[in-house]
Amino acid sequence: MLKIENVNIKDIQNEIIDEFSMFDDWMQRYEYMIELGKSLPLIDDQYKTEDNIIKGCQSKVWVHAEMKDGKIIFTADSDAIITKGIIAILIRVFSNQQPKDIIEADTSFIDEIGLKEHLSPTRANGLVSMIKQIKMYALAYQTQLN
Amino acid sequence: MKSTNQHITFKVDKIRKDFPILSRKVNGKPLVYFDNAATSQTPQVVIDAIVNYYSNYNANIHRGVHTLSQEATDAYEQARQKIQKHFNAQHSHEIIFTSGTTHAINLVANGFSSLLKKDDEIIVSALEHHSNIVPWQMLCEQTGAILKVIPMNQEGELIISAYDKLLSENTKLVFVNHISNALGTINPIEEIIKKAHDVNAAVLVDGAQACPHLKPDVQALDVDFYVASAHKMCGPTGIGMLYGKSTWLNKLPPYQGGGEMIEEVTFEKTTYADLPYKFEAGTPNICGGIAFGVAIDYLNSIGFDAIASYENELLNYATQNLLEIEGLKIYGTSPNKTSVISFNIEGIHPYDIGTIVDKLGIAVRTGHHCAQPIMDFYEIPGTVRASFSFYNTKEEIDALVYAVKKAKTMLL
């Protein structure tokens, strides 16, 4: 799991935008995402349950959340590698953050790195529902804190 | 394999000029459109018919005495006659305009809700699209009828010996697609219909995937109901048709209430209009119906024999070349199949292949193709489906093969 200490969501997003700006074309961007998708063990097998599954028409996504020291740790996975690559990026942004920051965060950085199409609600790959789910978890944990 | 002369006699370059969309680019690459089983592209003559309708004679039909209404009515009813002729129905009132295949199936399913009783049986095939499963499940819940399924084999063909065993005097309706949308298998509907009639069951055939490739003769088939969608036949979306033998259509109650479908209304009683209007409540898709007729004329001007022969050539060429890619497996390997190739590459998710291939300008479909039971049968999450039409070329298939190889290199 990536360790990111005390870095806020906006800074991570800008960091990702910087990284992606180095790529010349879509193929390099996709090769990078595929690399991310392949290299990261994203979720413990015990959490790949029916309860944690988001069924898209195209690919499946699993999301698990737990609270640690006031921050939410997200782990997730997908059966499709490109979806998994995008999950890796989303986890890097949203995991290990405080619930209120997650609730307030937006995902417009995805447009800037040229991956907008993957977050289209009609794409049915489970990613839009995954972000919704992340926000729901944040809302639930925030309510607990209050 | 047909000779390459076929390619020359079939003037694909000329045909491609009929389709304005084929000259556009996607992601900077020339569009290669291989999602024809989802929807076909639209030739200029059909686009012109739509523009002409709205530019010159847009009016509500059947109830106006003014000129525009008369012109629109004439054109709409002429379209019905074209469809009747195309499918060789005995009467034009046996052609009901619907919004598409799904609507037509629901219309029949709804009609049967008043004819079925507990423990009656409906037989469907394992090769069905979701829209062909759900209405019957709903009907069974409503009536207490039982749904039975004709199983399929590894090649993606229906097992007819199993069908024989399912048939009984309890069978009231058999429902099967003419061609499978997910695999392209052409089902032996003549045999299925004949055997169903032996036990006095009615047969509804979903021709959505068949009608772009062949010309069904509903009288020769002796089919009770046959449904199709215009948008898979070079026509617009939102229009389709139900053919029903008039004896059956007269037996079924109306599906929706509204204008057009009534003869006389008082608060005590309403009498329904005759066929086909009994099933055409409300203002129909007038322009769509007219354009559907034009699309049928267009397909016939090319000729279904020529279409089938050329598409078969494309299918063989694509099958041979795709199979040269190591690890590529084709689902649906019946010798009786249309120009659809459903495939996967070992170790790669279909969504990933579809995404990369799209980046290279090629439109294929990925996913379960609304046919989850078939995917469950093969124990796969889905497939990549390339479906070819008569306006596609071998050069485009070369581009697909290149793109799939590229995707494989990137993803494995």
Co-location of B199 and B126 in the same domain? yes
Q: Which residues of A touch B366 (CB under 8 A)?
A: 58
Q: Which residue would you say has higher pLDDT here, B366 or A114?
A: B366
Q: How does pLDDT run across A81-109, given as a tens digit for each residue?
A: 998 998 889 999 999 999 999 999 988 88
Last residue of a domain, one of B272, B301, B330: B301
**CB nearest to A57's CB, from B355, B359, B367:** B367
Co-location of B29 and B72 in the same domain? no
Pick from B177, B178, B174: nearest CA to B214: B178
Q: Which residues of B touch A31 (CB under 8 A)?
A: 410
Co-location of B14 and B163 in the same domain? no
As a whole number of angstroms, the distance between CA B329 and CA A96 comes to 42
Last residue of a domain, one of B280, B301, B322: B301
3-state secondary structure chain B: CCCCHHHHHCCHHHHHCCCHHHHCEECCEECEECECCCCCCCCHHHHHHHHHHHHHCCCCCCCCCCHHHHHHHHHHHHHHHHHHHHHCCCCHHHEEEECCHHHHHHHHHHHHCCCCCCCCEEEEECCCCHHHCHHHHHHHHHHCCEEEEECECCCCCECHHHHHHHCCCCEEEEEEECECCCCCEECCHHHHHHHHHHCCCEEEEECCCCCCCCCCCHHHHCCCEEEEEHHHCCCCCCCEEEEECHHHHHHCCCCCCCCCCEEEECCCCEEECCCCHHHCCCCCCHHHHHHHHHHHHHHHHHCHHHHHHHHHHHHHHHHHHHHCCCCEEEECCCCCECCEEEEEECCCCHHHHHHHHHHCCEECEEECCCCHHHHHHHCCCCEEEEECCCCCCHHHHHHHHHHHHHHHHHHC
Co-location of B292 and B214 in the same domain? yes
Active-site residue numbers of A? Answer: 57
Co-location of B34 and B177 in the same domain? no
Rg value, chain B, Cα: 22
Please name the amino acid found at residue B146: I
Question: Which residue in this structure is represented by tokens 């003549």?
Answer: B190
pLDDT band at residue B256 under the 50/70/90 scheme: confident
Cβ atoms within 10 A of the Cβ of B14, count? Answer: 8
Provide the CB-side half-sphere exposure for A19 (13 A, CA): 14
Co-location of B27 and B55 in the same domain? no
- What is the average pLDDT value for chain B, to the nearest integer? 94
Q: Which residues of A touch B348 (CB under 8 A)?
A: 81
The verdict on a CB contact (< 8 Å) between B349 and A80 is yes
Alpha-carbon distance A82 to nearest alpha carbon in chain B (angstroms): 6
Rg value, chain A, Cα: 14
CB-defined contacts A:B, below 8 A: 41
* CATH code of residue B201: 3.40.640.10
At residue B3, the pLDDT reads: 45
Co-location of B291 and B310 in the same domain? no
Alpha-carbon distance B368 to nearest alpha carbon in chain A (angstroms): 7
Q: Using CA coordinates, name the residue in chain B closest to A56.
A: B367
Does residue B348 belong to the interface with chain A, where contact is any CB pair within 8 Å?
A: yes
Q: Using CA coordinates, name the residue in chain A closest to B409.
A: A31
Average pLDDT over every residue of B49-70 = 93
Does residue B29 belong to the interface with chain A, where contact is any CB pair within 8 Å?
A: no
Does residue B27 belong to the interface with chain A, where contact is any CB pair within 8 Å?
A: yes
Tell me which residue range forms the domain holding B15.
5-39+303-411
Alpha-carbon distance B409 to nearest alpha carbon in chain A (angstroms): 10
Co-location of B130 and B232 in the same domain? yes
Residue of A58, A60, A87, A125 to mutate, testing the B interface (most B Cβ within 10 Å of its Cβ): A58
Residue of A24, A25, A28, A30 to mutate, testing the B interface (most B Cβ within 10 Å of its Cβ): A30
Co-location of B218 and B307 in the same domain? no
The verdict on a CB contact (< 8 Å) between B352 and A81 is yes
Q: Provide the domain count of chain B.
A: 2
Residue B136 CA, distance from chain mean position? 18
Q: How does pLDDT run across A6-62, given as a tens digit for each residue?
A: 689 999 999 999 999 999 898 999 999 999 988 766 788 888 888 888 876 678 888
Provide the CB-side half-sphere exposure for B358 (13 A, CA): 16
Q: How does pLDDT run across B304-335, given as a tens digit for each residue?
A: 999 999 999 999 999 999 999 999 999 999 99
Backbone angles phi, psi at A112, to 5 degrees: -65, -25
The DSSP letter of residue A46 is: G
Co-location of B250 and B173 in the same domain? yes
The DSSP letter of residue A47 is: G
Average pLDDT over every residue of B136-154 = 95
Residue of B344, B351, B368, B409 to mutate, testing the A interface (most A Cβ within 10 Å of its Cβ): B351
The verdict on a CB contact (< 8 Å) between B410 and A27 is yes
A5: pLDDT strictly greater than 60: no
Q: Using CA coordinates, name the residue in chain B closest to A79.
A: B349
Alpha-carbon distance B121 to nearest alpha carbon in chain A (angstroms): 31
Handedness of CA B81, B87, B91, B92 (dihedral sign): negative
The verdict on a CB contact (< 8 Å) between B381 and A27 is no
Residue of B355, B357, B365, B410 to mutate, testing the A interface (most A Cβ within 10 Å of its Cβ): B355
- Residue A101 CA: distances (Å) to CA of A6, A76, A119, A135, B202: 12, 19, 20, 10, 61
Q: Using CA coordinates, name the residue in chain A closest to B357.
A: A27
B102: pLDDT strictly greater than 60: yes
Last residue of a domain, one of B263, B283, B301: B301
Q: Using CA coordinates, name the residue in chain B closest to A115.
A: B355
Q: Using CA coordinates, name the residue in chain B closest to A81.
A: B352
User: Whole-prediction pTM value?
Assistant: 0.90
* CATH code of residue B367: 3.90.1150.10
Does residue B352 belong to the interface with chain A, where contact is any CB pair within 8 Å?
A: yes
At residue B2, the pLDDT reads: 43
At residue A124, the pLDDT reads: 66
CATH ID of A9-145, from 1.10.3720.10, 3.30.2350.10, 3.90.1010.10, 3.30.413.10: 3.90.1010.10
Percent with pLDDT over 90 in chain B: 85
Alpha-carbon distance B384 to nearest alpha carbon in chain A (angstroms): 11
Co-location of B385 and B249 in the same domain? no
As a whole number of angstroms, the distance between CA B251 and CA B249 comes to 5
